[in-house]
Amino acid sequence: MPQPRKNQISLIDTPYYHCVSRCVRRSFLCGKDKFTGQSYEHRRGWVEERLLFLSSVFSIGICAYAVMSNHTHVVLCVDKALAQSWSMEEVIKRWHQLYQGTLLSQKYQRGDKLSKSECISLDETVTIYRQRLYDISWLMRNLNEYIAREANKEDKCTGRFWEGRFKSQALLDERAVLACMAYVDLNPIRAKMDTTPETSQHTSIKQRIHSLIKGEQPRKLMPFVGNHRQNMPKGIAYSLIDYCELVDCTGRCIREDKVGYIENSHNPILERIGLNTEQWLTLTTEFEQHFSTAVGGEHMLQQFKHHTDHQRIRGMAKARALLQSA
């Protein structure tokens, strides 16, 4: 039986989550349907465009994503503090990019004068909007419902498009976050849809590599901000160059269908997080097979289990084998 979402997302434990949505119909979300010969490749662009738009509305950053033939992967980072710092005006402006809002919120945005009772009522409404703007379920709802409507309109049909609810995994430590990001970024290579990260269409790694060539970082993705230090900006605490090189080396090992070996010059990240090549390659090729609701070290899994009232958490043994220092 599926777990309630409140038992899968615990911001006390981590702001990072891996979310997966799968299509329910035989027809592909994207790519070419081998049964009908019809191409749905353009729908990958729909998903990517909508996802990046939503990241500019919600207080939720995108660490990695990959749009596949019949499913999507995204690694998200919730910034609750940012949403709580927004003014009423900012919250309403963002919410109105998604929904019409209420008559009062529309009145406020026009600059009309509100009575005392109207102000109280609007304040209560804005509290709800604010909470939704850092809620992963609301972001995924706005992604999946939009794509379902567009696909149903194109297919001239009605009914469910996605396979029930999206799946989420809490990423409890930096090893889990980095391994999951690489797992997502390398999805097209594992599926033999592409041969290199930089040519993988509709993925975050392609955006990162192409921006890196120009000495930049993608504006709509969570930035890599280098090593831990004082007064550190928000972002992923590693070098973008190191990450891209590690993903590239990992991709070559996967593409050649062998365990391979990542040379020392290519693994400063592995040295820092204390994983060996074998552990890393297992995580980046079999991430979803070994873990369910949460991913992280054994102690972090125990904490997550306590905070979310789970009776048991799958993956304890694998956490000891794959997420402890080599």
Residues 249-308 have pLDDT tens digits of 888 887 765 444 455 455 678 888 888 888 988 999 889 888 889 999 988 999 998 898
Residues 186-212 have pLDDT tens digits of 999 888 888 888 888 999 999 999 999
Residues 90-108 have pLDDT tens digits of 999 999 999 999 999 999 9
pLDDT over threshold 90, residue 228? no
Share of the chain above pLDDT 70, in %: 87
Query: What's the CA dihedral at 293, 297, 301, 303 to 10 degrees?
Result: -140
Q: What is the DSSP string of 88-130?
A: HHHHHHHHTTTS---HHHHHHHHT----HHHHHHHHHHHHHHH
SS3 label, residue 72 = strand
Quick one: average pLDDT of 1-23? Answer: 83
Write the Ramachandran bin of 281: left for phi over 0, alpha for psi from -120 to 50, otherwise beta.
Answer: alpha
**pLDDT at residue 237 in the model:** 87
**pLDDT at residue 33 in the model:** 63
**pLDDT at residue 230 in the model:** 59
- The most confident of the ranges 21-35, 36-50, 92-106, 210-224 is 92-106
Tokens of 208: 């990162």
Quick one: average pLDDT of 213-219? Answer: 90
Quick one: average pLDDT of 161-187? Answer: 91
**pLDDT at residue 155 in the model:** 73
283 in Cβ contact with 256 (< 8 Å): no
pLDDT over threshold 90, residue 177? yes
Across the chain, mean pLDDT equals 87
Within a 10 A sphere around the Cβ of 17, how many other Cβ atoms? 25
94 in Cβ contact with 133 (< 8 Å): yes
30 in Cβ contact with 43 (< 8 Å): yes
18 in Cβ contact with 75 (< 8 Å): yes
**pLDDT at residue 229 in the model:** 63
Q: Which residue has the higher pLDDT, 310 or 179?
A: 179
237 in Cβ contact with 227 (< 8 Å): yes
**pLDDT at residue 277 in the model:** 85
In this prediction the pTM is 0.91
**pLDDT at residue 292 in the model:** 86
Distance of alpha carbon 216 from alpha carbon 73, whole angstroms: 24
pLDDT over threshold 90, residue 134? yes
Share of the chain above pLDDT 90, in %: 50
**pLDDT at residue 326 in the model:** 54
**pLDDT at residue 32 in the model:** 62
Quick one: average pLDDT of 234-245? Answer: 89
Q: Which residue has the higher pLDDT, 269 or 141?
A: 141
| Nearest CA among 29, 5, 8, 62 for reference residue 162 | 29
